[in-house]
Amino acid sequence: MSNENERETIPSGLKLLYTLSRHEDAISRLAWSPRGQLLASPSRDTTIRLWDGETWTHLNTLRGHAFGVNQVAWSSDGQKLASASFDRSIRVWDVSTGDELYSRAAHSFNVTSVAWAPDGQTLASGSDDWTVNLWEAEAGILRRTLRGHRAGVKEVRWSPDNRTITSASDDGTIRLWDAETRDMLHKLEGARAVIHSLAWSPDGRWLATAPAGRVVHIWDVETKRQRTILEGHTADCGCVAFSHDGLLLASKSLDDTVRL
């Protein structure tokens, strides 16, 4: 449980329920299972821990990566978890048993992001080697490599309708790819800065991006134009995420705050 000093920093209307602590190094991007029953925490200590979303007890520790884990992604049925690591691999895990189903040497440099297609058939992985790889999810077979970025890829995400893959890069661009033909559809260049994170709204209408520069950009997916810029943070944002109903957007910053 938290101490009294932590409680004093919590804004009115919010309540700290629990503090979970078992990792031995920095925690990367947390990920909820599709039904919100489990929480996965990847860490630079090379492990992924699974937590019960109701009792907040620690359920399992997934071990196998040689270096820190950058990101994890749940399959749509919540039965499998994919992970991306500094060891240049992606791994897929059986959540119920904690067993590793397979590991693939995915890229020639750090694997920064992994994303499961909504239909469960394909995994996308992004890397500091400037590429996005698409994998047949069941067997881990590499199907296609998407090339075009001129710097490391920091985030890959699928559109809610399964038709578009998005990638955000250190080259300051967001690229939209056709999930079926694998062709690049559009290149969004409004940020002109390193892009740390991107998120689709649940209805597929908006893209939120967190570029270097203390702001969050909102893009209209239909027109491919920047709709608005959200200001307020006093340091770079490292992550953006929509709520399940799309009514809230959260941004996490190096200024030690989360804004809604």
pLDDT (tens digit, 9 = 90+) per residue, 173-186? Answer: 999 999 999 999 99
Number of domains in the chain: 1
Q: Please state the rounded mean pLDDT for residues 228-236.
A: 93
Is the residue at 217 inside a domain? Answer: no
- pLDDT confidence band for 191 (50 / 70 / 90): low
150 Cβ contact partners less than 8 Å away, ≥ 6 residues apart = 130, 169, 171
Residue where the block lists tokens 């030690």: 256
**Residue 10 pLDDT > 60, yes or no?**
yes
* Whether 176 contacts 182, CB under 8 Å: no
Is 57 inside any structural domain?
yes
Confidence of residue 2 (pLDDT cuts 50, 70, 90): very low
pTM beyond 0.75, yes or no: yes
Q: Please list, in sequence order, all residues whose beta carbon lies within 8 angstroms of the beta carbon of residue 240, skipping any fewer than 6 positions away.
A: 197, 198, 199, 208, 209, 210, 216, 249, 250, 251, 252
pLDDT of residue 17: 86
- E strand segments, 95-194: 100-105, 111-116, 122-127, 132-136, 141-146, 153-158, 164-169, 174-178, 184-188
The enclosing domain of 150 has a CATH number of 2.130.10.10
The answer to whether position 178 is within a domain reads: yes
In-domain check, residue 247: no
Q: Using DSSP bridges, classify how beta strands 111-116 and 100-105 pair: parallel, antiparallel or unpaired.
A: unpaired
More confident residue, 7 or 116: 116
The neighbour count for residue 138, using CB atoms within 10 Å, is: 14
222 is a domain residue:
no
Q: Has residue 131 been placed in a domain? A: yes
Token code pair at residue 105:
């040497």
Q: Which domain holds residue 123?
A: 4-189
139: in domain: yes
Averaged pLDDT of the chain: 93
Q: Give a yes or no: residue 214 inside a domain.
A: no
In this predicted structure, what is the pLDDT of residue 190? 65
Higher model confidence: residue 194 or residue 63?
63
Structure tokens at 20: 């979970």
